[in-house]
Every structure is written in C-alpha cells, then in structure tokens.
C-alpha cells in the first residue's frame, strides 16, 4: 500500500528491522507519503524507483506530468529519479495487457527509432544536473514548474518548464527570458541566482549565504523545444536546440 502507516512506519518502528534500513525506494505512488517520510525519517536516503508507465501515447502531456513527479520527489530530498521503459517497440504491450510510454520507440522491421517527449525531458535534466548535484528549494510564482540544482563544480542550473501553448516570460536579476510554448528552459550560473520582484513570472527565489552574484552577461539560456513527432535522427547532439547569452 501507499499508506505510510501500513507499510513504512510499520516496518521502521521495529528496531530489529530498522537497523538494516538506510534508505527507501518509492514507486510513483510514493508521492502520496513523501511529507510523512521526510518528517519522520529525514536521515533516510530516498529514491524514486519507478515513474508511471503511461498509456503508450507518448504525447507531450507526459512531460508536464513527469516533470511534476520529479518536482515532488526532488523537493522531498530524493537522490534518484528512475524512468520505467527505456525503449519499446511500437506495438508492444506490457504483461499486464496495456501499452506504455518509453523514452524511445523502436521500429525493428524498418531499423529506425523515434525519440519521444520524455526522452527530451530526461536528456535535458541530466545534461545540467550532474552526478553529485544538490537540489535547491525554488520559490515564487513559477516555482511549481521549476527545478534548480547546484552542481559539484559550484555552478547552478535552474530548469523551467513552459507547459502552455503561449510564450511565457521570466524575469530574474533584471533579465527577461522568453520561454517558447511547450519547452524546457535552463539557465546556468556561476553561483546561486538571486531574484527580485518583477512583473510576469519572477524566477525562483533560492539563496545561500555568502554567494556572490555572477555577472548577468554570462547568463546562458538553453532551450529545448519538444517536437510533436521527432524524426529518427531527432536526438540533439548538445543539451538544447539553441543557446543564447542573455544580456
């Protein structure tokens, strides 16, 4: 079960069992008990061990859904997010009798593959949140569609999703960034980005003491626009379709 008391607390209240447990691996349904886990067992490492498998449509709508699941787990302190299917054939059914989403759809007869929307989500996030990165708390009007990480080299990456059909704008540190419809947008910084009150959508309020602000001219904005149907060669050779220095 997804009930905290029926499984997790039941096991961990037993000292003989608890001494062998150093972390918890929760499937997607674990999102319902994240607050309880963090409140009662803050010392335990947390994995998201399996995201929802979808229905095989591999539609763009799967990106905001998966992004929101990442958002919930990373804010709760999870150290891993595991995708369920790396690759499936187009006509594949699970052993439970339904189609599922995958990062890649393979046409074995034609010898080609299609990169699906969630592929770009995983590729974009993993390109900027490097092994050993620490998730940062994000606050503000766009916080529910934003993640931020501080990498081992000290650089900060802020990732914002625009799930809407319209171009949306973010303002931070006096910079105005346009996010294309249905896109993932990442800014990278030498240190943690500060933000000031602004119209539209002020980006993320996350601060650490004694962090200097990197000059705005070095603010790099990476954009990945998710294609409706990506071609077999649709895999980007670098993190985004465009990079621009925002002055």
pLDDT digits (tens, 9 = 90+) for 194-215: 433 333 333 333 332 222 222 3
Helix (H) or strand (E) holding 73: helix 62-75
pLDDT > 60? residue 91 = yes
Calpha distance 142→161 (Å, rounded)? 9
Give the residue-averaged pLDDT of 119-143: 86
Measured distance CA(242)–CA(164) in Å, rounded: 20
Long-range contacts of 98-104 (CB under 8 A, 24+ apart): 98/55, 98/56, 99/55, 99/56, 99/57, 100/53, 100/54, 100/55, 100/56, 101/53, 101/54, 101/55, 101/56, 101/57, 101/58, 101/62, 102/58
* pLDDT tens digits along 31-50: 999 999 999 999 999 999 99
The residue assigned the tokens 């649709």 is 234
pLDDT at residue 11 tops 90: yes
Q: Which residues pair with 149 in a beta bridge?
A: 135, 157
pLDDT grade for 247, boundaries at 50, 70 and 90: very low
CB 187 within 8 A of CB 214: no
What is the average pLDDT across 58-87?
91
Residues 6+ apart with CB under 8 A from 194: 172, 173, 207, 213
Q: What is the pLDDT confidence band of residue 224, given thresholds at 50, 70 and 90?
A: low
Query: Residue 194's pLDDT is what?
Result: 43
The tokens for 51 are 């995201």
Q: How confident is the model at residue 235, as a pLDDT?
A: 29
> Angle between the 62-75 and 117-128 helix axes, to the nearest 10 degrees?
30
More confident position, 188 or 209: 188
Residue 105 CA, distance from chain mean position: 21
CA distance 115 to 118: 8
pLDDT tops 90 at residue 244: no
């Amino acid at each position: 079960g997804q009930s905290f008391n029926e499984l997790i607390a039941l096991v961990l209240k037993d000292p003989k069992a608890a001494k062998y447990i150093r972390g918890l691996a929760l499937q997607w349904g674990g999102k319902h008990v994240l607050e309880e886990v963090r409140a009662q067992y803050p010392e335990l490492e947390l994995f998201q061990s399996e995201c929802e498998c979808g229905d095989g449509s591999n539609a763009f709508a799967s990106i905001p859904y998966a992004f929101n699941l990442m958002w919930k787990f990373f804010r709760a302190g999870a150290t891993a997010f595991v995708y369920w299917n790396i690759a499936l054939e187009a006509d594949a059914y699970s052993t439970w009798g339904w189609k599922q989403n995958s990062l890649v759809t393979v046409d074995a007869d034609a010898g080609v593959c299609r990169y699906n929307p969630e592929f770009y989500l995983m590729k974009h996030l993993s390109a900027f949140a490097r092994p050993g990165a620490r998730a940062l708390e994000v606050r503000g009007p766009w916080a529910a569609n934003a993640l931020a990480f501080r990498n081992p080299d000290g650089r900060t990456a802020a990732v914002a999703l625009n799930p809407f059909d319209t171009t949306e704008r973010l303002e931070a540190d006096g910079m105005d960034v346009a996010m294309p419809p249905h896109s993932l947008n990442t800014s990278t910084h030498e240190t943690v980005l500060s933000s000031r009150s602004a119209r539209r959508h002020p980006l993320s309020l996350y601060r650490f003491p004694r962090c200097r602000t990197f000059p705005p001219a070095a603010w790099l904005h990476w954009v990945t626009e998710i294609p409706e149907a990506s071609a077999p060669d649709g895999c980007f050779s670098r993190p985004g379709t465009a990079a621009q220095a925002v002055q």
